[in-house]
Copies of this chain bind each other. A is one copy, B any other.
Amino acid sequence: MAYGIGEVAARTGLSVHALRFYEREGLFVGPIVRDPGGRRVYSDGDIGWVELCARLRETGMPLEVIRKYADLVRDGVGNEPERLALLREHQERIESQMQALSVGLSMISYKVRVYEKRLAEGTAAALWSSSTSSSGD
């Protein structure tokens, strides 16, 4: 199947601007085919690649690293160990990001519970009002 840039944008969630930008930046493995009028025509394979890029970006891989990966794939068979290393590094980065998120999440969840409790008691607390300070939110 063949798709126009707008269609690809709609499917992948990237903007058409971003798609052209990614191409300029060398994130694609091969050149994107053009129709006789010079417009980009994307294949299913291209869409798959764009989706991979989107996932890599979402997980915080810098464009420069994605480009490096694309370069390796483009160079073809023989550099699999390098590609593997690159992916494994990213795997680890994602894991530590998840770790950081979960630390942050539990801190926030704790605060949420505190506020919930405070508010639940709040109506009652209006009696002896103020002085429930300290804590340091």
Please state if A118 and B80 are interface contacts (CB–CB under 8 Å): yes
Known A-B contacts A73-B137, A80-B118, A136-B49; A55 and B111 likewise in contact (beta carbons under 8 Å): no
- In the complex, whether A109 has a CB less than 8 A from a CB of chain B is yes
Interface hit among A1-9, A18-26, A90-98: A90-98
Interface size class of A (residues with CB under 8 A): 35 or more
- In the assembly, what is the distance between CA of A130 and CA of B80, in Å? 13
Chain B residues with Cβ below 8 Å from A100 are 58-59
Q: CA of A98 to CA of B100 in the docked complex: distance in angstroms?
A: 10
Within A60-117, which residues are at the interface with B (CB < 8 Å)? 73, 77, 80-81, 83-84, 87-88, 90-91, 94-95, 97-98, 100-105, 107-109, 111-112, 115-116
| Other 9 A-B pairs with CB < 8 A, given A49-B136, A98-B101 | A55-B107, A56-B108, A58-B103, A73-B137, A77-B133, A80-B119, A87-B108, A88-B112, A94-B108
